[in-house]
Amino acid sequence: MEKTWNNRAWFMVLPVLILVAFNAIIPLMTVVNYSVQETFGGNVFFFSGVTWFQDVLLSDRFHAALGRQLFFTFTILFIEIPLGVAIALTMPRKGFWVSVCLVLMALPLLIPWNVVGAIWNILALPDIGLLGQMLNGMGFDYNYTRHPLDAWFTLILMDVWHWTSLVVLLAYAGLISIPDAYYQAAKIDAASRWAVFRHIQLPKMKRVLTIAILLRFMDSFMIYTEPSVLTGGGPGNATTLLSIDLVKIALGQFDLGRAAAMSIVYFLIVLLLSWVFYTLMMRNEEQS
Amino acid sequence: MRRVSWLVPAIYILFLMVPIYWLLNMSFKNTNEILGGFTLYPHDFTLASYREILTNPVWYNGYINSITYVSINTIISVAVALPAAYAFSRYRFVGDKHLFFWLLTNRMAPPAVFALPFFQLYSAIGLFDTHIAVALAHCLFNIPLAVWILEGFMSGVPKEIDETAYIDGYSFPRFFVKIFMPLIASGIGVTAFFCFMFSWVELLLAKTLTSVEAKPIAAIMTRTASASGYELGLLAAAGALTIVPGAVVIYFVRNYIAKGFALGRV
Amino acid sequence: MARIVLENIAHAYGPSPKGPEDYALKTLNHVWENGGAYALLGPSGCGKTTLLNIISGLITPSEGRVLFDGKDITALPTAERNIAQVFQFPVIYDTMTVAQNLAFPLRNRSVSRAEVEKRVAEVAKMLDLLPILTKRARGLTADVKQKVSLGRGLVRPDVTAILFDEPLTVIDPHLKWQLRSKLKELHRQFDLTMVYVTHDQTEALTFADKVVVMYEGEVVQIGTPEDLFERPAHTFVGYFIGSPGMNVAPVTVTGNRARLGTHDIQLGRAYSELPAGTKIELGIRPEFIRVSNSGRGMPGRVVRVDDIGRYRVVKVDLDGHPFNAIADEDAEISDDRASVVLDPANVHIYADGRLVEGKPLSAGAA
């Protein structure tokens, strides 16, 4: 769309800017502050420059956690996005069943994350959980507290269960916004179902899908509570994702400096990947 | 293929319902039964957990507190996001692209280390342990989300509609409320729901910024990890009840979400 | 060639319609002649888009049949009817180029590559789209996009009728006439039946040979623009067409005279049996009212005078009933009193909104 240049539009954005910046800038400054200081306790700090950052970036432990995190994030993106879109495409558009679908699909999103972790923790236990019993009954030797592979499987299954509905809801709202006239024109043009998807639905959902992908990317990259309650990072550190490692360092070892530096590195990674992705999606838009 | 396409959402919903059924299952058992063995339904059906929650003010105040600050936050977030999203969608201005992306970056930091700075900030301005504190703090991640989603939907409405309205004599506020908002009803519905949801489930900041007056339900639930281990039945019942307000919200916005794009005039 | 017949068509959107209020489209019979240019004119909600969608097949009528050249196609899906439709806002495929857009309906029907290219080039030439054939459809202006939409309709050699649903709604006013002329040109060039839905009388009257006026789900008059102007069959037609529209006032009629308040008006026809219990009204267009200072005619009070440029609109009050009259720019109108003369040949009488025929005056009647 042709946007008109109008600097007075800043006034429309001002309330947003104030509310968000207030919450962002000051705490951020505090964290940066911590990340460049070191303490030996007793509230005595001294400047240590980039020591923490070097420490973090060069540590094997960090690399391992980062690797696990990348694997986790890309796996769930690969599953949740297409699955969410497929479900949105097949959901009813009008009538009584729409309400039923929407409400039921929203339920997993509303459960506090620690409860989500707790549910799956019990559900997947081989002796007292439904899932555990089922899988073992089918002949698999399944125990997520002992086998890393099982732990990963359960973790991913839990995340798919928890968050796919977010993609569904966004994709569905996007689909519904497509005016009827497009479908009517497609009928007149004798377009096939696939052509309708490729040329009408998918392009019109592009913006909404971008949001869905970015959201899932960021949230899954920062995920903490659910895996923490489900596996605690184990067995061993098989499922110790980046956030879990961070908290272990910050609280467990009370290493504020290292934790702060790690947070900043963490943030920069997410920022970089998101920015790359966002630019790619927007570049497609601008081509005209 | 068309005829059985309803199977897809059906199977998906079935998949979603299993753990929820499991949750309900646990909520009607006592902890011993839960940990004792595998039972598909409560052999020792008990309402004790629910009774505890519904009669103990510590528990139900938690729900009330959560509902309060979440509602405040949702209203603020959507209200300020609407004009901002419109500006991003229709206009170009100095720094617009950077500002837009910067908004999203506020969702990119793991909250763990920010808890302490937030505590210091809100204590310093005297808002510690108030609903408004949590509502404002949650603006950090909800407003960017609202702006992004709304902008996406607004960009789907051709600018020609704005111009036609001005030619027809509409003032901007009237155009926005009577013509524009109905066209993005889907987006508003979805945005309101997500703001509600993300604020509702946010644990860390809500716990950090409150102590007694405004303590959210999520914080109270962590208390179920007592010296004797998790009181699972109680946790399950609390969790089950947590779903209710959100379900109500999405039920109310379902018409907005499912509303199509109708260009009026016959 | 398309001669479209609508036989006893009626449509109700709800499942079980009981009375006329449940029908979006009340029973109608109409023939759209081959190669005709028709306008479907009416206010919002009168049922014109419903009717259009029934013709194109996007809606199946709850009653009646649709026939194309004698063949019953009521149940035939849209893609198999030889029609194209242009919508209120440009419906184009954003991700494709203009050429790909135009080729789309043909490719979906498995037309050979060479044939596709030929047709696309022809249609692009017709619509002045040749210079932008390779451009992405997304960044184009609204009027060009509508041309592309139209092009997708014209590109099919089997298309015999094109339906337009208020296609100029989002076009800039100064480009509207350009597109309108283009449409007329296309109509003259090809033997296409065109049906053009609009709520703008100027568009309807300039585009169409015949105008179908609709009101509240019913067809109230079909005729040439002249017919609609000179003999409106319904008070709504009189009011809707013309700027300003026809004046309507309640009267009592005896024979060939009508009584409006204290005024006695001479009529051009005699009305002997007016149906009892109906609302009797008089209708006359502003163009046929003479207002002057001459003293001859009914005394009226001048309320206001609007100067439009080449003529003036004078609003007079006759015993509490307002009338608009057209006066020349240099006619002498005083500030408050004027003499009003109604041309009897163009005075019409309506009962409950419908035109009453009356009988011609016999020789000797005063």
- Residue C18 CA from chain centroid, whole number: 29
Q: Which residues of A touch B99 (CB under 8 A)?
A: 13, 17
C-contacting chains (≥3 CB pairs under 8 Å): A, B
pLDDT band at A39 (very low <50, low <70, confident <90, very high): low
Helix (H, G, I), strand (E, B) or coil at C321: strand
Q: Which residues of B touch C173 (CB under 8 A)?
A: 167
State residue B37 phi and psi, 5-degree precision: -170, -175
Asked whether residue C86 falls in the same domain as residue C159, the answer is: yes
Give kind and range of the element (H or E) at residue C50.
helix C48-56
Q: Which residues of B touch C49 (CB under 8 A)?
A: 266
User: Is residue B41 a contact partner of residue A187, using CB atoms and an 8 Å limit?
Assistant: no
Q: Which residue of C has its CA nearest to A179?
A: C91
Give kind and range of the element (H or E) at residue C121.
helix C113-126
How much is the pLDDT for C363? 53
Q: In chain A, which residues touch C (CB < 8 A)?
A: 179, 181-182, 184-185, 187-192, 195, 199-200, 203, 287-288
The CATH number fitting domain B62-257, selected from 1.10.10.10, 3.40.50.300, 1.10.3720.10, 3.30.10.20: 1.10.3720.10
Name the residue among C67, C54, C83, C71 with its Cα closest to residue C158. Answer: C83
Q: Distance between CA C114 and CA B248 in Å, rounded?
A: 59
Q: Please give the average per-residue pLDDT across A194-205, as a whole number.
A: 87
Q: Which residues of C touch B164 (CB under 8 A)?
A: 169-170
Name the residue among C104, C129, C141 with its Cα closest to residue A288. Answer: C141
How much is the pLDDT for A233? 81
Asked whether residue C231 falls in the same domain as residue C252, the answer is: no
Distance from CA of C234 to the nearest CA of B (A): 21
Residue C84 lies in a domain: yes
Assess whether pLDDT exceeds 50 at residue C152. Answer: yes
Task: Specify the CATH superfamily of domain A56-286.
Answer: MetI-like (1.10.3720.10)
- Token representation of residue C218: 């019913």
Going from the C-alpha of C327 to that of each of C246, C308, C330, C348, the distances in angstroms are: 15, 10, 8, 21
Q: Which residues of A touch B11 (CB under 8 A)?
A: none
Distance from CA of B211 to the nearest CA of C (A): 54
Percent of chain A residues past pLDDT 70, beyond the cut: 93
Asked whether residue C181 falls in the same domain as residue C312, the answer is: no
User: Is residue C247 a contact partner of residue C291, using CB atoms and an 8 Å limit?
Assistant: no
How much is the pLDDT for A274? 84
CATH of the domain at C129: 3.40.50.300
Q: Distance between CA B154 and CA B146 in Å, rounded?
A: 12
Cβ of B266 within 8 Å of Cβ of C46? The answer is yes
How much is the pLDDT for A288? 35
Query: By CB neighbour count within 10 A (0-12 exposed, 13-18 middle, 19+ buried), where does A11 fall?
Result: exposed
Asked whether residue C270 falls in the same domain as residue C187, the answer is: no
Where does a domain end: C209, C240, C271? C240
State residue B211 phi and psi, 5-degree precision: -130, -55
Asked whether residue C183 falls in the same domain as residue C235, the answer is: yes
Q: Distance between CA C91 and CA A181 in Å, rounded?
A: 7
Q: Distance between CA B140 and CA B190 in Å, rounded?
A: 19
Cβ of A188 within 8 Å of Cβ of C79? The answer is yes
Which residue of C46, C54, C170 is the best one to mutate when testing the B interface, meaning the one whose CB has the most B CBs within 10 A?
A: C170
Assess whether pLDDT exceeds 70 at residue C116. Answer: yes
How much is the pLDDT for A42? 59
Cβ of B265 within 8 Å of Cβ of C48? The answer is no
User: Is residue A17 a contact partner of residue B96, using CB atoms and an 8 Å limit?
Assistant: no
SS3 per residue for chain A: CCCEECHHHHHHHHHHHHHHHHHHHHHHHHHHHHHCEEECCCCCEEECCCHHHHHHHHCHHHHHHHHHHHHHHHHHHHHHHHHHHHHHHHCCCCCHHHHHHHHHHHHHHHCCHHHHHHHHHHHCCCCCCHHHHHHHHCCCCCCCCCCHHHHHHHHHHHHHHHHHHHHHHHHHHHHHCCCHHHHHHHHHCCCCHHHHHHHHHHHHHHHHHHHHHHHHHHHHHCCCHHHHHHCCCCCCCCCCCHHHHHHHHHHHCCCHHHHHHHHHHHHHHHHHHHHHHHHHHHHHHHCC
Residue C111 lies in a domain: yes
- Over residues C192-219, the pLDDT tens digits come to 888 989 888 888 888 888 888 888 888 8
**Order of strands, sheet of C247-250, starting from the edge strand that comes earlier in the sequence:** C247-250, C280-284, C348-351, C354-355
Asked whether residue C213 falls in the same domain as residue C289, the answer is: no
Answer whether B160 touches C (CB < 8 Å): yes
B-contacting chains (≥3 CB pairs under 8 Å): A, C
User: Is residue B205 a contact partner of residue B69, using CB atoms and an 8 Å limit?
Assistant: no
Q: Please give the average per-residue pLDDT across A264-284, as a whole number.
A: 81
| C45, C89, C170 ranked by CB distance to B266: nearest | C45
Q: Distance between CA C230 and CA B162 in Å, rounded?
A: 38
User: Is residue C137 a contact partner of residue C99, using CB atoms and an 8 Å limit?
Assistant: no
CATH of the domain at C275: 2.40.50.140
- Token representation of residue B234: 């109680």
Cβ of A111 within 8 Å of Cβ of B242? The answer is yes
How much is the pLDDT for B16? 93
Q: Which residues of A touch C77 (CB under 8 A)?
A: 187
Q: Which residues of C touch B265 (CB under 8 A)?
A: 44, 88, 166, 169, 199
Q: Which residue has the tokens 């609007």?
A: C306
**Order of strands, sheet of C263-271, starting from the edge strand that comes earlier in the sequence:** C252-260, C263-271, C359-360
Cβ of C89 within 8 Å of Cβ of A287? The answer is no
Asked whether residue C304 falls in the same domain as residue C178, the answer is: no
Q: Distance between CA C212 and CA C194 in Å, rounded?
A: 13
Distance from CA of C25 to the nearest CA of B (A): 12
How much is the pLDDT for A76? 95
Going from the C-alpha of B243 to that of each of A206, B220, B240, C71, C175, the distances in angstroms are: 31, 15, 6, 58, 55
State residue C83 phi and psi, 5-degree precision: -125, 160
How much is the pLDDT for C366? 44
Name the residue among C86, C60, C55 with its Cα closest to residue C75. Answer: C60
Answer whether B178 touches A (CB < 8 Å): no
Q: Pick out chain B residues at pLDDT < 50.
A: 227-228, 261-266
Cβ of A184 within 8 Å of Cβ of C85? The answer is yes
Q: Mean pLDDT check: name the lowest of A130-134, A174-178, C75-79, C360-364.
A: C360-364
Answer whether C11 touches B (CB < 8 Å): no
How much is the pLDDT for C365? 46
A63: Cβ contacts below 8 Å, ≥ 6 apart? none
Cβ of B243 within 8 Å of Cβ of A275? The answer is no
Residue C366 lies in a domain: no
The residue with greater pLDDT, A253 or C268, is C268
Q: Which of residues 279-298 of C touch A (CB under 8 A)?
A: none
Asked whether residue C144 falls in the same domain as residue C203, the answer is: yes
What is the per-residue DSSP string for B11-54? HHHHHHHHHHHHHHHHHTS-HHHHHH---SS-SS---HHHHHHH
Q: Which residues of A touch C108 (CB under 8 A)?
A: 189-192, 195
A-contacting chains (≥3 CB pairs under 8 Å): B, C
State residue B133 phi and psi, 5-degree precision: -60, -50
How much is the pLDDT for B143? 92
Answer whether B181 touches A (CB < 8 Å): no
Which residue of B35, B49, B113, B251 is the best one to mutate when testing the A interface, meaning the one whose CB has the most A CBs within 10 A?
A: B113
Tally the C-alpha atoms within 13 A of residue B237's C-alpha that lie toward its C-beta: 22
pLDDT band at C239 (very low <50, low <70, confident <90, very high): confident
Assess whether pLDDT exceeds 90 at residue C289. Answer: no
How much is the pLDDT for A162? 95
How much is the pLDDT for A286? 55
How much is the pLDDT for B71? 92
Cβ of B260 within 8 Å of Cβ of A2? The answer is no
Residue C208 lies in a domain: yes
Where does a domain end: C215, C240, C265? C240
How much is the pLDDT for B230? 62
Q: What amino acid is encoded at B168 in this protein?
A: D
Q: What amino acid is encoded at C329 in this protein?
A: E
Where does a domain end: C201, C218, C240? C240
Number of domains in chain C: 2
Range of the domain at C85: 4-240
| C44, C142, C173 ranked by CB distance to B265: nearest | C44
- Over residues C26-62, the pLDDT tens digits come to 888 888 888 888 898 888 778 888 888 888 888 888 8
Assess whether pLDDT exceeds 70 at residue C190. Answer: yes
State the CB neighbour count (10 A cutoff) for residue A102: 24
Cβ of A188 within 8 Å of Cβ of C136? The answer is no
Domain spans in chain A, listed from the N-terminal domain onward? 56-286
Assess whether pLDDT exceeds 80 at residue C226. Answer: yes
Q: Which of residues 191-230 of B touch A (CB under 8 A)?
A: 193-194, 197, 200-201, 203, 217-218, 221-222, 230
Asked whether residue C142 falls in the same domain as residue C274, the answer is: no
Assess whether pLDDT exceeds 90 at residue A87. Answer: yes
Helix (H, G, I), strand (E, B) or coil at C222: strand
CATH 1.10.3720.10-classified regions of chain B = 62-257
